[in-house]
A and B are shown apart, each in its own frame.
Chain A
Amino acid sequence: MAESAMTRRGERERYDVKLLQVDWGFALVLSLIAGIGALVLYSVGGMSWEPWAYNHLLRFGLCFVLMIALSLVDLRWWLQLCYPIYAVSLLLLVAVELFGDVRMGAQRWLSIGSFSMQPSEFMKLAIVMALARWYHEAGVKDATLSWKLIIPLSMIMVPVLLVAHQPDLGTAMLILLTGVTVMIVAGLDWRIIGAAAAAGAVAIPFFVIFVMHDYQRDRVLTFLNPEADPSGAGYHILQSKIAMGSGGLLGKGLGLGSQSQLNFLPEKHTDFILAAVCEELGFVGGFTVFALYGLAVYMALRIATLSHSHFGRLAAAGTTATFALYVLINGAMVMGLAPVVGVPQPLLSYGGSVMMTVMIGFGLVMGVKVHRYQELPRSQSFFAQFE
């Protein structure tokens, strides 16, 4: 266990030292995004803290504390918990398949007593951790071009298919893309990447026509031609574009966005909050939000490169990938560049489960920063090192 010569043994284990190592700049960027979210929620709530803005800030505060607490957890604990968490998440997905509640036409929720949850949400993190763990132990050859790649691929595809069957295409896609991103950054051979991309391009039209549910297909077709049915399925996209476009450079001002205030903008507090931001705060506001997101991604990826352990790198990169995918997919959807797929804008949109997933993920990323000099064993039992 080589430790940096610069510090005394055991010095890094002290929590006050760890707290100083927390990336407070990163935490500030995240807080700013959540703050803008609260501001716009205050506005679209009719210039009122109720019903959204107050809850949003409260949740962010709790998640913030959780994130900092998680950042102090030793990476070895994370490493050991990867497979158990993945296994539990997978079991929960199967349980959803068997016993889940049907809400709004999809079987996504699992109720235990009065507590209900969406296991697919946990899977976004679990897949990153499980893959990071696997690649942490795998050799270079295994990660680039090897039959062993069947293992990470299965780890991705089993939950993806389960979630897609619920059906929750948005989350399934997110898990798939996150997993694939981890595989790529872990060093997947370019030939496999190229072949998979080509196969995907061929398969997508067939998928749209034969596998998708009607409403899903409608959304895709509407995306391709939104003006065909402006009051039906194309309504969301059109109203969202009107909201953003009419904001202009400087926006209509807080509380003055007619599209969001008069309910022309659907889901203005959740999936389409970015449109409300752009309407009321204009291009300046929208640009600021994207700049903060870009900065957050940059900072998180930088943390990933600082890590001395492969697990740390991949876990941080994978979590960041989930976050970046959220931002890009939601942004494209709201601006009419992608079909409407029910993906919220992380930290900006109102909603507890996504915020929790993202903040737990960033807890792990921050943990990677705090423990960046920690070297982790490749295959030994975590508990063995204490012997």
Chain B
Amino acid sequence: MKALKALFNGGLYLPSEKSQTLNAPVQTAADCPWLFVPMLQHAGTAAEAIVGPGQAVLAGQKIGQPADGDSAAVHSPVSGTVRAVEEIRLPDGTRAAAAVIENDCEHRPADGINVPCEPAEVTVTNFTERFADWGLVQMQANGMPLHRRLQIAREHNVRTVVVNAMESEPYLTADHRLTVEQTLLVALGLTHICRLVGAEAGIVAVDQRRPDEAALLDKLLADHAEEHGLMLEAAMVDNRYPQGHELMLLKTLFDEEVEVRLSDGAGELASDRAGVCVLAVGTVAAAADAMLFNRPLTHRVVTVSGEAVGAPGNFLVPVGMRFSDVLDCCDVSPTIDRLIVGGPMTGIAQADDQSVFTKQTAGLVLFSAAMVHQPGPCIRCGWCVEDCPVQINPALLAGLAESGRWHRGFAHHAETCIECNICSYVCPSRLPLLEHIRKLKRAMARDQQARAGERGPA
């Protein structure tokens, strides 16, 4: 097993704040009477609802059909009755149709699910339909359907699949608990995904502060490596934020860099061009669950933590469960300053607790102490430049965005930004630097599209 220093420049050791929930076993969340299961829980096209009001559904029954190749199915996590299909607001602020299901709390499973199956039945030729049918998506913010992700990896002939169990955001421990409690699933999932994308090696990147987790993984991976003729191992990696990002893992594990393009989003897909596909640990475990037991993706592990939470913990929640149903049993302080979906570095603040868990929700972090961040003038301290993990100049790019000179963003490589938010975190003037860079990137993308359009017809 390797123990690796972070090779990238910049980055920061953030306060981890994980101790409260690090050793708390995953509890199954109490049954909630109503679920609002969104048809859009991935980046791509929403699924089409195939149930209507009054229809009875079983746990694991498909209620949303993938609309096209960029879409994944949606299943009912519980048994009960569909009462409506209506539009709701998702945690990231977008709106999508959702099936409102009244839970009968009997957990009657649909036919054929929860039965052991042969994972070898999922092959290179049929995994696209099977994965879309199981509703497998990348279980991280802005994750695309898993079958699309693996197709992209296949197109690039990736040689290594990296499972990211780093969880570098503070407070969140869901991935850690999942890895500890479902180690075998992670190992099997990695084995089969390597087979499906044609990779010859698989690595699970684990936080170096958790050697037990790494040792257990390493042992299980070694058992499966020989059987499938793969190189599988666990690697302990330094926990300097944002080590959990795809490109930082690429740099630390392989000492390779790759140019990021605007079309890579926040750089998530760039590592494929260097032959490395990075998947979150939850994604891999869910894929294994589906392949081994024919279980569609209907539940996920989330962390509820933060200083406003009296009884923090890790919970297995059905997708479509309202935040309020979980918070009711977490002894939340009466005044909440911030309710954040995801971690405090990149998570999205909510106005209230009426939104729902989706396949991409890693956790809820609640703060009660008010923090006022009013922006002031840039004093050119240079800390954003020093700490930027991809060595761009956020202060300069923010200036370009503010003055509308987005065309100069190309020369300064704004597209390289991986949106880790360190620049805004360290800024003593409290400037929303990442927001400015995002704005710049959007303008640059529009420009690129316009130019492609000009070229296209001619």
The answer on A and B forming one complex is no
